[in-house]
Amino acid sequence: MGTLLATRIKSRRKELRLSQKELADGICQQGQISRLEKGEYTPGSELLYQLAKRLNVSMDYFFDEQILNESTELFEFKKIAKAFISQRNYESLVYIYELEKEKNHRLSLSDKIYLEWVGSLVDFYFYNRKEEAIERLEEIVQSLDKSDINFFQISNTLFNFYYDTENLARFDLIKEELKAQVHQLNLNTIEELELSIKFNFNLSRYYWLQKNIELAIQQVTATIKLCQDYRTTYLLADLFLLLGNISKNFSNQTEVKRYFETAFFLYKNLDNNKEMALTIEHYISNNFQD
């Protein structure tokens, strides 16, 4: 059991790209994590509970040998799904989702939630089963603690779903809850950082669609700075494209063109999103004179 516990904690920590120090922060000493991962130390129930929360897994994950320790297939699925979601390639997402959900192996609680989340995106954006997608996520979110990172991810998706279906009462409620949650994130992990960027991008887009241009500019430029401060390109192309769209009717056209050119470069060279790169290239050639 000790060996399984050590292996599970180390594997899950690395999956989330946490250092031993980051995992231990506010919970225990880094040395305890080191000894635990070497199988030299068995934590008490309270410490194990805190570690399970930090790693977004159930307590059973550490001890049940029938629960797979993050299978290679699921790890690859997550990487591919992330790329398809970023590119809004929902047809391809449907294909890999249908393959994955038919597999019989047991998943950790966190992985089951992730697969359900992908399923809701498939329902909403591909099959146009919007109400079913919303109900699916609402059911999941009710079972999660607000401190769970999965709660934030699912709420962030509901934020978009509510707006796109014009369910403004629930949209306004969840918007305020998410703003409060974002301020509480420590951004110690890539997962937290990307969720923060995603929500701030969504909020920027919302302000723009509501024609609240001043707030939209403040929000999008602050989010671009966040990406630059943490040296991440996550959604950076989308952010520069949004900034170009926000400012194209009133700002200096040379500056606006630079925003679109930056988005084009990022889509083409970093995101490998050829469709968006070609779309922006066509837009630039039709709307800006050399």
Both tokens of 236, joined, read 């950076």
**Confidence at residue 149, expressed as pLDDT on a 0 to 100 scale:** 78
Note the pLDDT tens digit of each residue in 217-253.
999 999 999 999 888 899 999 999 999 999 999 999 9
In this prediction, residues 125-133 reach a mean pLDDT of 95
**Sign of CA pseudo-dihedral 137, 138, 144, 149:** positive
Does residue 51 or residue 216 have the better pLDDT? 216
**Confidence at residue 40, expressed as pLDDT on a 0 to 100 scale:** 82
**Confidence at residue 71, expressed as pLDDT on a 0 to 100 scale:** 47
Does residue 64 or residue 225 have the better pLDDT? 225
**Confidence at residue 64, expressed as pLDDT on a 0 to 100 scale:** 61
Does residue 227 or residue 68 have the better pLDDT? 227
- Tokens 């697969």 sit on residue: 115
**Confidence at residue 165, expressed as pLDDT on a 0 to 100 scale:** 93
Whole-angstrom CA distances from 284 to 103, 254, 257, 287 are: 45, 11, 7, 5
pLDDT tier for residue 67 given thresholds of 50, 70 and 90: low
Whole-angstrom CA distances from 235 to 28, 51, 66, 86, 110 are: 34, 30, 37, 8, 24
69 vs 111: CA distance, rounded Å = 11
CB 117 within 8 A of CB 154: yes
**Confidence at residue 243, expressed as pLDDT on a 0 to 100 scale:** 96
In CATH terms, 2-62 corresponds, of 1.10.260.40, 1.10.1670.10, 2.40.50.1070, 3.20.20.140, to: 1.10.260.40
Per-domain residue ranges of the chain = 2-62, 71-184, 211-290
**Confidence at residue 26, expressed as pLDDT on a 0 to 100 scale:** 87
Q: Is the pLDDT of residue 203 over 90?
A: yes
CB 94 within 8 A of CB 84: no
Average pLDDT in the chain: 86
